Amino acid sequence: MVTLPSDKEAFIAHYDQSKDRLPGSSLAWLNETRAKNIALFSDIGLPSAKTELWKFTSLNPLKKQAFSAPETSELAANDELPRLIDSTSSVRLVFIDGNYSEALSDSSLPTGLTMESLATVLENGNRDLDQARLTRPRAEEQPFVALNTALMADGYILSIAKDVSLEKTIEILHLGSGKAESTHHTRNIISVGSGSKATIIEHNADHGENVYFSNAATDINVDENATLHHYRVQESNKSAFLISSTEVEVGKGATYDSFLLNTGARLARSEINVSLAAENSACHLNGTYMGTDDQHCDITTRVDHKTPHTTCDEVIKGVLSGNARGVFQGKIIVHEQAQKTVGNQSHRAMLLSDRAEVDVKPELEIFADDVICSHGCTSGQIDEDALFYLRSRGLSQEQAQSLLVNAFLADAVEAVQNEDLKDLFLVRITNWLERNPNKPA
Amino acid sequence: MLEIKNLHAEVDGKAILKGIDLNINKGEVHAIMGPNGSGKSTLANVLAGRDDYEVTEGGILFDGKDISELEPEERAGEGIFLAFQYPVEIPGVTNTTFLKEALNAQRRYRGEEELDGMEFVKMIRGKTKELGIKDDMLKRAVNVGFSGGEKKRNDILQMAVLNPKLAVLDETDSGLDIDALKVVAEGVNKLRAENNAILVITHYQRLLNYIVPDQVHVLSNGKIRRSGGKELALELEEKGYADYSGEAA
The tens digit of pLDDT for each residue in B131-188 reads 888 888 999 999 999 988 889 889 999 999 999 999 999 988 888 888 888 888 988 8
Closest among A235, A225, A369, A372 to A291, alpha carbons compared: A235
Chain A, residues 343-372, CB within 8 A of chain B, namely none
Buried b (16+ CB within 10 A) or exposed e, A98-125: bbbbeebbeeebeebbebbbbbbbbeee
Which chain A positions have a beta carbon within 8 Å of B75's beta carbon? 392
Nearest residue on chain B to A407, alpha-carbon basis: B92
Q: Do A396 and B50 touch (CB under 8 A)?
A: no
CA distance A309 to B163: 56
Mean pLDDT of A23-27: 92
Of A270-274, A432-436, B93-97, highest mean pLDDT: A270-274
Task: Tell me A262's DSSP state.
Answer: E
Chain B, residues 140-159, CB within 8 A of chain A, namely 141, 158
| Cα of B220 to nearest chain A Cα, Å | 26
Confidence grade of residue A351 (pLDDT, cut at 50, 70, 90): very high
Q: Which residues of chain B have pLDDT under 70?
A: 245-249
In chain A, what percentage of residues exceed pLDDT 70?
95
Q: Closest partner residue to B105 among A385, A396, A411, by Cβ?
A: A396
The confidence score (pLDDT) of residue A74 equals 67
CA distance A274 to A303: 5
Mean pLDDT of A286-315: 97
| Cα of A349 to nearest chain B Cα, Å | 15
The confidence score (pLDDT) of residue A234 equals 98
Q: How far apart are the first and last CA of chain A?
A: 46
CA distances (Å), A275 to each of A162, A361, A363, in order? Answer: 21, 20, 16
The confidence score (pLDDT) of residue A441 equals 43
Q: Minimum mean pLDDT among A73-77, A90-94, A355-359, B149-153: which range?
A: A73-77
Show the DSSP H helices in A45-141 as ranges. 60-64, 118-124
pLDDT at A366 over 70: yes
Q: Do A393 and B84 touch (CB under 8 A)?
A: no
The arrangement of strands across the sheet holding A183-192 comes to: A113-117, A156-160, A183-192, A213-222, A241-250, A267-276, A296-305, A325-334, A357-366
The tens digit of pLDDT for each residue in A217-249 reads 999 999 999 999 999 999 999 999 999 999 999
Q: Do A391 and B87 touch (CB under 8 A)?
A: no
B77 at interface of A, judged by CB pairs closer than 8 A: yes
Residue B183, SS3 per DSSP: helix
The tens digit of pLDDT for each residue in A121-142 reads 999 876 677 888 888 888 999 9
Predicted complex ipTM: 0.94
B73 at interface of A, judged by CB pairs closer than 8 A: yes
- Dmax of chain B from CA atoms? 57
For residue B154, list its beta bridge partners.
none
Confidence grade of residue A438 (pLDDT, cut at 50, 70, 90): low
